[in-house]
């Protein structure tokens, strides 16, 4: 027969100070655990959401990122003529892009940070269809004009619409800003590809990557086969989402490793706290437990009851931890993207899955912290404990 | 001191609780040291920056190169003692995950500008004698199990192709937090195999200013010398350059520190609570001590002593474990250039442990001191 839950609730209430300490310990660990997961998740989401399942990205074979890739004008022609690429009015849905890095002062500290500058054509808005102009207008090809992503606009000084920005020895006019739905593009500045090439004294006609809209999401393999058979195309073709997933890997691993390390150490501390609380509960209640046993409740019922009590404490701690981490959701923070050496803004993402993992983590701590004291409680010699009365 | 056995006897009475409390202390201190180490790793570049070194980079951005002809022009600037240059290679060893910094260096001058990196003389000579020679930091060599004489293939990315290097030397650092992850090879090998444009460009220049010269003035003179050219420069002290890098890595380091502080104080709460419980349980015993003639102060000292002993034991354990953990190396596999617990971290941790021991013991100790013997004995 099982002990009623009210018994546990009452006993938790009777020793509320040590319960509060145990709850806080577990809440702290769960909060940090959730915050770290949300950070890693947010970083990944910012990069991955930049990509589209329907787009293929073409880079030079062997290039590690867009920064060190190159696609010649001849190769661009081949890509534009490929049958797997979707066509629209005025030609193929292909966006050749140039990527450089410029140093601009951060609003926050005044020190320079690297902002990624992407040279594109008018096609870019059609191929990257999540990117929308929200203020002003898109740049005019052939003019020294640029548009800024919404996170870049918030992060750097002097890039508001109407400002002039010095990039690579020329002054560019900011004519608009765009929203890319929180993706990595939001940390970028876009302008005319050919002008960017010439102001950065790069060889004309060389792009760094080409993004092509596929005629169907399944057309990627056909495109890969076509280019593999073409001796002119020493390129790597990837789905755009895959490229960005890989690009985020190093940083997310880094956050995850350090974050789990910290959370694990904290969990150990919280388990100690839970153990201490439960052990002193058992010690203080030895007479009570003996009475329960004398009434006819079995050892199993006592173990279950104590474990439930520990889990109750842990569950409350877990919920508080998750709730404490919840306000982080959507908070925009910045870090360096090591793959491109540029500064990237992203938002914490406290998803239900992340919170679920945090809660499980808390309950697990309760189990580990509650089981040994529960076993001790069940093993108390009934007669001796009652004699203490 | 003669009461030390009594303190230990008290602690040993409830072994599980003592172990758990010492354990909580140890965990808190371990965490503190871990966070100090992570912070230090983020700031490593600033901490080891040479005070007399300036970095000359392209004004447009770090990744734009500078003409090699600038070397002589910088050298001629008053206040400049020595100049060296290097290129970022950015190749891939086996897999993109195996990241480490690769520099094509001007072998003759690089070593004089970076005296903190130590290479045995015979290894350095072998490096100078072999055009495909390379020198790796000890951390990177250990990570991949490289030995001197190994042939190391690296897939070029910025400079395409299959590059082969012979490991001729392994460098160590003069200080414990020097960056031991770099991989150097010869600039003349780079220009031999790279596309023709690479011959005329260096990635950046490192300048050592003459003793007594004003770093700010030298930096301004260098930048003014190249103003309005096609390749304008930005010259800054190594520390400033590194600081702007840290600034960009930004919030992550700060977040970790903030989180760690919260956690640390939570754990303190736990410890303090345990001590209070343990004093409360022994009320009768303390009353007996007073009855047999212990003064109020002696009882206060005994309780405080117990609390401090727990703090010392737990603190020492936590710091010791943290030191051992950091010596075992970087857990992120190469993302942090150094993973080193600085002495100030150990000192700060030890003082924190003592302070917590004092604070946690204070309240129970004072209540023990104020204990009315008759009252307490009646409760028995």
How far is the C-alpha of A233 from the C-alpha of A251, rounded, in Å? 31
Interface test with B, best of A209, A256, A280 (most B CBs within 10 A): A280
B195 CB neighbours in chain A (<8 A) are none
pLDDT digits (tens, 9 = 90+) for B70-102: 999 999 999 999 999 999 998 889 887 788 889
User: Stretch A254-258: mean pLDDT, rounded?
Assistant: 79
Give the minimum alpha-carbon distance from A110 to chain B in angstroms, rounded to a whole number: 10
Tell whether the model's pLDDT for residue B245 goes beyond 80: no
Give the minimum alpha-carbon distance from A346 to chain B in angstroms, rounded to a whole number: 11
User: Stretch A65-80: mean pLDDT, rounded?
Assistant: 87
pLDDT digits (tens, 9 = 90+) for A108-165: 777 788 888 999 999 999 999 889 999 999 999 999 999 999 989 988 988 999 999 9
User: Which of these, B171, B99, B160, lies nearest to B134 by C-alpha position?
Assistant: B171
pLDDT digits (tens, 9 = 90+) for B249-283: 665 566 666 766 776 677 677 777 777 777 777 77
B35 CB neighbours in chain A (<8 A) are 262
Tell whether the model's pLDDT for residue A389 goes beyond 60: no
- Contact across the interface for A335 and B251, Cβ inside 8 Å: yes
Place of tokens 């020679």: B133
Tell whether the model's pLDDT for residue A181 goes beyond 70: yes
> Which residues are B105's β-sheet partners?
B86, B186
Least confident of A246-250, B9-13, B332-336: B332-336
Give the minimum alpha-carbon distance from A90 to chain B in angstroms, rounded to a whole number: 34
- Contact across the interface for B243 and A111, Cβ inside 8 Å: yes
> Higher-confidence residue: B224 or A64?
B224
pLDDT digits (tens, 9 = 90+) for A310-352: 898 899 999 999 999 899 888 887 777 766 667 788 888 899 9
Pairing label, strands A112-120, A94-105: antiparallel
Interface test with B, best of A238, A255, A269 (most B CBs within 10 A): A269
Between positions 38 and 67 of B, the ones with CB within 8 A of A are 38, 59-64
For B344, residues 6+ apart whose C-beta sits below 8 A from its C-beta are: none
Give the minimum alpha-carbon distance from A157 to chain B in angstroms, rounded to a whole number: 15
Give the minimum alpha-carbon distance from B249 to chain A in angstroms, rounded to a whole number: 5
Q: What pLDDT is stored for residue A352 in this prediction?
A: 92
Using a cut of 0.95, tell me whether the model's pTM lies above it: no
CA dihedral sign of residues A142, A145, A150, A153: positive
B105 shares contact with chain A (CB less than 8 Å): no
Between positions 106 and 125 of B, the ones with CB within 8 A of A are none
- Contact across the interface for A262 and B259, Cβ inside 8 Å: yes
User: Which of these, B236, B190, B245, lies nearest to B68 by C-alpha position?
Assistant: B190
Interface test with A, best of B195, B248, B330 (most A CBs within 10 A): B248
Cα–chain center distance at A82: 35
pLDDT digits (tens, 9 = 90+) for B44-76: 877 778 788 999 998 877 778 899 999 999 999
Of B64, B255, B263, the CB nearest to A28: B263
- Contact across the interface for A262 and B28, Cβ inside 8 Å: no
| Pairs of CB atoms within 8 A across A/B | 163
pLDDT digits (tens, 9 = 90+) for B196-211: 877 889 999 999 999 8
Give the minimum alpha-carbon distance from A337 to chain B in angstroms, rounded to a whole number: 8
Q: Are A203 and A197 in contact (CB under 8 A)?
A: yes
Q: What pLDDT is stored for residue B301 in this prediction?
A: 87
Q: What pLDDT is stored for residue A134 in this prediction?
A: 94
Cα–chain center distance at B328: 13
Q: Mean pLDDT highest for which of A144-153, A164-173, B228-237?
A: A144-153
Give the minimum alpha-carbon distance from A77 to chain B in angstroms, rounded to a whole number: 22
Interface test with B, best of A38, A66, A68 (most B CBs within 10 A): A68
Q: Which two tokens stand for residue B52?
A: 């007399």
Report the chain B residue with the minimal C-alpha distance to residue A253.
B332
Q: What pLDDT is stored for residue A2 in this prediction?
A: 75
Residue B62: count other Cβ atoms within 10 Å of its Cβ.
20
Q: What pLDDT is stored for residue A338 in this prediction?
A: 66
Q: What pLDDT is stored for residue A138 in this prediction?
A: 95
- Work out the end-to-end distance of chain B between its first and last CA atoms, rounded to an integer number of angstroms: 30
For A120, residues 6+ apart whose C-beta sits below 8 A from its C-beta are: A95, A96, A97, A98, A190, A191, A192, A193
Q: Are B59 and A98 in contact (CB under 8 A)?
A: no
> Higher-confidence residue: B318 or A108?
B318
User: Which of these, B9, B22, B15, lies nearest to B315 by C-alpha position?
Assistant: B22
Q: What pLDDT is stored for residue B184 in this prediction?
A: 95
- Contact across the interface for A62 and B155, Cβ inside 8 Å: yes
Report the chain B residue with the minimal C-alpha distance to residue A344.
B248
Q: Which two tokens stand for residue A145?
A: 């004009």
Interface test with B, best of A30, A37, A64 (most B CBs within 10 A): A64
- Contact across the interface for A68 and B157, Cβ inside 8 Å: yes
pLDDT digits (tens, 9 = 90+) for A194-213: 999 888 878 888 899 999 99
Percentage of residues in chain B with pLDDT exceeding 70?
Answer: 93
B97 CB neighbours in chain A (<8 A) are 249-250
Pairing label, strands B183-186, B102-105: parallel
Question: B240 burial class (0-12, 13-18, 19+ CB within 10 angstroms)?
Answer: middle
Q: What pLDDT is stored for residue A132 in this prediction?
A: 92
Q: Are A382 and A290 in contact (CB under 8 A)?
A: yes
User: b/e map of A72-82 (b: 16 or more CB within 10 Å)?
Assistant: eeebbebbbeb
Q: What are phi and psi of A344, to 5 degrees?
A: -130, 130
Mean pLDDT of chain A: 86
- Contact across the interface for A253 and B96, Cβ inside 8 Å: no
How far is the C-alpha of B31 from the C-alpha of B33, rounded, in Å? 5
> Which residues are A57's β-sheet partners?
A211, A238
- Contact across the interface for A261 and B331, Cβ inside 8 Å: yes
Q: Which two tokens stand for residue A349?
A: 């993402």
Between positions 5 and 44 of B, the ones with CB within 8 A of A are 16-17, 20-21, 23-24, 27-28, 30-31, 34-35, 38
B249 shares contact with chain A (CB less than 8 Å): yes
> Higher-confidence residue: A388 or A136?
A136
Q: What pLDDT is stored for residue B379 in this prediction?
A: 60
Give the minimum alpha-carbon distance from B306 to chain A in angstroms, rounded to a whole number: 18
How far is the C-alpha of B128 from the C-alpha of B105, rounded, in Å? 11
Least confident of A3-7, A104-108, A143-147, B244-248: B244-248
> Higher-confidence residue: A112 or B112?
B112
User: Which of these, B215, B230, B237, lies nearest to B49 by C-alpha position?
Assistant: B237
B323 — pLDDT class (breaks 50, 70, 90): very high
Greatest Cα pair distance, chain A, in angstroms, is: 96
B284 — pLDDT class (breaks 50, 70, 90): confident
Place of tokens 């092509």: A212
Report the chain A residue with the minimal C-alpha distance to residue B334.
A254
Q: Are A375 and A302 in contact (CB under 8 A)?
A: no
pLDDT digits (tens, 9 = 90+) for B171-183: 999 988 888 889 9
User: Which of these, B314, B321, B357, lies nearest to B341 by C-alpha position?
Assistant: B321
> Higher-confidence residue: A76 or A247?
A76
How far is the C-alpha of B43 from the C-alpha of B36, rounded, in Å? 10
How far is the C-alpha of B275 from the C-alpha of A342, rounded, in Å? 50
SS3 for chain B, per residue? CCCHHHHHHHHHHCHHHHHHHHHHHHHHHHHHHHHHHHHHHHCHHHHHCCCCEEEEEECCCCCCCEECCHHHHHHHCCCEEEEEEEEECCCECCCCCCCCCEEEECHHHHHHHCCCEECCHHHHHHHHHCCCEEEEEHHHHHHHCCCCCCEEEEEECCCCEEEEEEEEEEEEECCCCCCCCCEEEEHHHHHHHCCHHHHHEECEEEEEECCCCCHHHHHHHHHHHCCCCCCCEEEEEHHHHHHHHHHHHCHHHHHHHHHHHHHHHHHHHHHHHHHHHHHHHCHHHHHHHHHCCCCHHHHHHHHHHHHHHHHHHHHHHHHHHHHHHHHCCCCCCCCCCCCCCCHHHHHHHHHHHHHHHHHHHHHHHHHHHCCCHHHHHHHC
Question: B214 burial class (0-12, 13-18, 19+ CB within 10 angstroms)?
Answer: exposed
User: Which of these, A321, A314, A243, A244, lies nearest to A278 by C-alpha position?
Assistant: A314
B189 — pLDDT class (breaks 50, 70, 90): very high
Give the minimum alpha-carbon distance from A94 to chain B in angstroms, rounded to a whole number: 24
Q: What pLDDT is stored for residue A388 in this prediction?
A: 60
User: Stretch A94-117: mean pLDDT, rounded?
Assistant: 86
Least confident of A373-377, B88-92, B345-349, B359-363: B359-363
Q: What pLDDT is stored for residue B1 in this prediction?
A: 60
Q: What are phi and psi of A106, to 5 degrees?
A: -75, 145
């Amino acid at each position: 027969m099982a002990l009623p839950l009210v018994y546990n609730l009452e006993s938790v209430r009777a020793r509320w100070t040590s319960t509060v300490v145990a709850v806080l310990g577990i809440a702290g660990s769960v909060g940090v655990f959730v915050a770290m997961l949300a950070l890693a998740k947010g970083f990944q989401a910012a990069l991955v959401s930049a990509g589209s399942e329907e787009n293929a990205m073409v880079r030079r074979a062997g290039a590690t990122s867009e920064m060190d890739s190159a696609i010649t004008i001849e190769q661009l022609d081949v890509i534009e003529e490929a049958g797997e690429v979707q066509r629209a009015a005025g030609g193929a849905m292909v966006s050749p892009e140039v990527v450089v890095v410029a140093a601009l002062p951060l609003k926050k500290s005044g020190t320079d940070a690297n902002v990624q500058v992407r040279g594109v054509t008018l096609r870019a808005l059609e191929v990257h269809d999540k990117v929308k102009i929200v203020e002003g207008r898109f740049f005019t090809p052939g003019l020294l004009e640029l548009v800024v992503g919404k996170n870049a606009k918030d992060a750097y000084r002097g890039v508001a619409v109407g400002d002039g920005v010095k990039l690579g020895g020329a002054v560019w006019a900011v004519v608009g800003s765009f929203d890319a739905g929180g993706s990595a593009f939001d940390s970028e500045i876009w302008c005319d590809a050919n002008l960017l090439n010439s102001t950065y004294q790069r060889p004309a006609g060389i792009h760094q990557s080409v993004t092509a809209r596929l005629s169907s999401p399944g057309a990627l393999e056909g495109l890969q086969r076509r280019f593999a058979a073409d001796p002119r195309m020493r390129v790597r073709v990837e789905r755009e989402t895959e490229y960005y997933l890989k690009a985020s890997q190093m940083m997310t691993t880094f956050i995850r490793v350090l974050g789990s390390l910290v959370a694990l150490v904290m969990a150990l501390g919280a388990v100690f706290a839970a153990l201490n609380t439960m052990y002193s509960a058992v010690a203080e209640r030895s007479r009570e437990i003996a009475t329960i046993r004398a009434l006819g409740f079995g050892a199993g019922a006592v173990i279950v009851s104590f474990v439930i009590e520990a889990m109750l404490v842990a569950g409350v701690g877990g919920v508080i931890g998750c709730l404490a981490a919840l306000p982080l959701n959507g908070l925009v923070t910045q870090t360096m993207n090591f793959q491109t050496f540029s500064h990237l803004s992203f938002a914490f993402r406290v998803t239900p899955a992340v919170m679920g993992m945090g809660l499980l983590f808390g309950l697990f701590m309760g189990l580990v912290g509650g089981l040994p004291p529960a076993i001790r409680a069940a093993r108390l010699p009934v007669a001796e404990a009652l004699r203490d009365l | 001191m003669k009461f030390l056995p009594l303190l230990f006897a008290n602690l040993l009475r409830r072994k599980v609780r003592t172990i758990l409390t010492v354990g909580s202390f140890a965990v808190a201190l371990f965490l503190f040291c871990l966070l100090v180490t992570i912070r230090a790793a983020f700031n490593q570049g600033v901490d080891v920056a040479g005070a007399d070194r300036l970095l000359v980079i392209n004004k447009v951005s770090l990744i734009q190169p500078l003409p090699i002809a600038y070397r002589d022009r910088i050298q001629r600037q008053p206040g400049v003692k020595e100049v060296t240059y290097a290129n970022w290679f950015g190749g891939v060893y086996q897999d993109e995950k195996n990241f480490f910094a690769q520099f094509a260096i001007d072998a003759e001058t690089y070593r004089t500008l970076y005296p903190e990196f130590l290479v045995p003389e015979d290894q350095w000579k072998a490096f100078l004698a072999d055009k495909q020679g390379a020198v790796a930091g000890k951390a990177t060599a250990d990570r991949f199990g490289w030995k001197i004489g190994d042939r190391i293939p690296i897939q070029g990315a910025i400079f395409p192709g299959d590059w082969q290097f012979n490991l001729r030397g392994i460098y160590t650092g003069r200080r414990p937090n020097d960056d031991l992850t770099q991989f150097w090879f010869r600039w003349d090998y780079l220009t031999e195999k790279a596309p023709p444009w690479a011959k005329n460009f260096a990635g950046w220049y490192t300048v050592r200013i003459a003793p007594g010269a004003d770093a700010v003035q030298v930096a301004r003179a260098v930048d003014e010398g190249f103003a309005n050219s096609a390749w304008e420069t930005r010259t800054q002290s190594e520390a400033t350059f590194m600081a702007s890098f840290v600034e960009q890595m930004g919030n992550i380091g700060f977040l970790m520190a903030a989180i760690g502080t919260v956690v640390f104080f939570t754990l303190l709460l736990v410890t303090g609570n345990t001590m209070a419980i343990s004093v409360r349980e022994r009320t009768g015993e303390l009353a007996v001590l007073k009855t047999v003639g212990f003064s109020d102060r002696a009882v206060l000292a005994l309780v405080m002593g117990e609390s401090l002993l727990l703090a010392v034991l737990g603190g020492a354990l936590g710091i010791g474990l943290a030191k051992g953990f950091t010596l075992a190396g970087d857990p992120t596999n190469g993302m942090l250039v150094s993973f080193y617990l600085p002495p100030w971290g150990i000192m700060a941790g030890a003082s924190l442990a003592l302070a917590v021991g004092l604070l946690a013991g204070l309240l129970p100790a004072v209540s023990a001191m104020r204990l009315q013997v008759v009252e307490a004995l009646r409760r028995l």
